[in-house]
Amino acid sequence: MRRGWVKASSKPNRLIQTLLFALLLSPTAQAFQVQHGGLSVSYSDPRDRLQLGTVFKAWDAAARDLKALGLPPPTQVRIEAASSAADFARRTAEPANIAASTQGAVISTQRLTALALSGRLPLTIRHEAFHTAQPAGIPRWLAEGLARTFSGEAASDPQGPTGLSRLSSDALSEELLGRNPTRLAAAYVEAARRTGQLVKRRGWKEVIKELGKL
Ligand SMILES: [Zn+2]
């Protein structure tokens, strides 16, 4: 009788324990969430809280600059910071050297503290802000090049040849979409070089106006 009772009560307990454990291990489990206007940020590493001020400041400046260009970001955007590099890879299937990835109005990033330590946090937020606001359907090389020019990342690009200057625009887009970790960095530099020249020649407003017609 007693044995039967113990068995009957331990089963649901085990089930609850298993569910709790699964929730803790779930790649989508986020321990913390904060709201800043239309921007929500969720993160798992409590130390990431120290980076929220930097994130908000970079986001606000990017949103203001994008709006001035006639490209306001969506009113609701979510930043989901991974708990580790492995967590980021699991969520996005991106190569390890990628800082963030945006799908619509959802920005997935590496752990905020990791981005801050490598000096990439404000530029990454600004880069991804551009992606949330860019016109739908623009070619990948243009989207990445403009995001890197807008963010300021392109300003510290290496000056030497990328080895990709002869690629057509379509081939460059394919190179970026291929996500080959050893060639991706050069493809980003090449895309930024081409869009940088475009922006220099035509000006941001004119380029953005043309994008709307693509
Ligand atoms: Zn990008």
Tell me, in angstroms, the distance from the centre of ligand 1 to residue 144's CA: 5
- 189 with 145, same domain? yes
Ligand 1 centroid to residue 131 C-alpha, Å: 7
Give the pLDDT score at 163.
94
Q: For residue range 79-137, what is the model confidence (pLDDT) as tens digits?
A: 999 999 999 999 999 988 899 999 999 999 999 999 999 999 999 999 999 999 999 99
pLDDT of residue 19 exceeding 60, the answer is no
The three state secondary structure string of the chain is CHHHHHHHHHHHHHHHHHHHHHHHHCCCCCCEEEEECCEEEEECCHHHHHHHHHHHHHHHHHHHHHHHCCCCCCCCEEEEECCCHHHHHHHHCCCCCCCEEEECCEEEECCHHHHHHCCCHHHHHHHHHHHHHCCCCCCHHHHHHHHHHHHCHHHHCCCCCCCCCCCCHHHHHHHHHHCCCCCHHHHHHHHHHHHHHHHHHHCHHHHHHHHCCC
pLDDT bucket at 4, cuts 50 / 70 / 90: very low
Per-residue confidence band for 150, with pLDDT thresholds at 50, 70 and 90:
very high
pLDDT at 25 over 80: no
* pLDDT bracket for residue 9 (50, 70, 90): very low
Same domain, 111 and 41: yes
Domain count, the chain: 2
Residues 126 and 157 in one domain: no
Domain boundary among 133, 148, 179: 133
Ligand 1: distance of its center to the CA of 77 in Å?
16
Q: Are residues 35 and 120 in the same domain?
A: yes
Residues 129 and 140 reside in one and the same domain: no
Residue 5 covered by a domain: no
pLDDT in tens, 31-76: 999 999 999 999 999 999 999 999 999 999 999 999 999 999 999 9
d(CA 79, CA 58): 13
Specify whether 120 is located in the same domain as 140: no
Question: Of 54-58, 181-185, 198-202, which gets the smallest average pLDDT?
Answer: 181-185
pLDDT for 30 beyond 90: no
Same domain, 89 and 36: yes
- Going from the Cα of 140 to the center of ligand 1, the distance in angstroms, rounded, reads 9
Mean pLDDT over all residues of the chain?
89
With respect to residue 196, please indicate whether it lies within any of the assigned structural domains: yes
Question: In angstroms, what is the span from residue 145 Cα to ligand 1's centroid?
Answer: 8
User: Domain for residue 17, yes or no?
Assistant: no
Last residue of a domain, one of 87, 102, 133: 133
Tell how strand 39-43 and strand 77-81 pair up. parallel
Q: For residues 102 and 36, state if they share a domain.
A: yes
Does the pLDDT at position 20 exceed 70? no
Residue 200 belongs to domain spanning: 136-214
Residues 55 and 82 in one domain: yes
Highest mean pLDDT among 8-12, 134-138, 148-152: 148-152
The yes-or-no verdict on residue 155 having pLDDT over 70 is yes
Distance 170 CA to ligand 1 centre (A): 17
Question: What's the token pair of residue 61?
Answer: 């400046």
Residue 143 to residue 146: CA distance in whole angstroms: 5
Q: Phi first, then psi: give them for residue 138, nearest 5 degrees.
A: -75, 150
Mean pLDDT of 8-35: 64
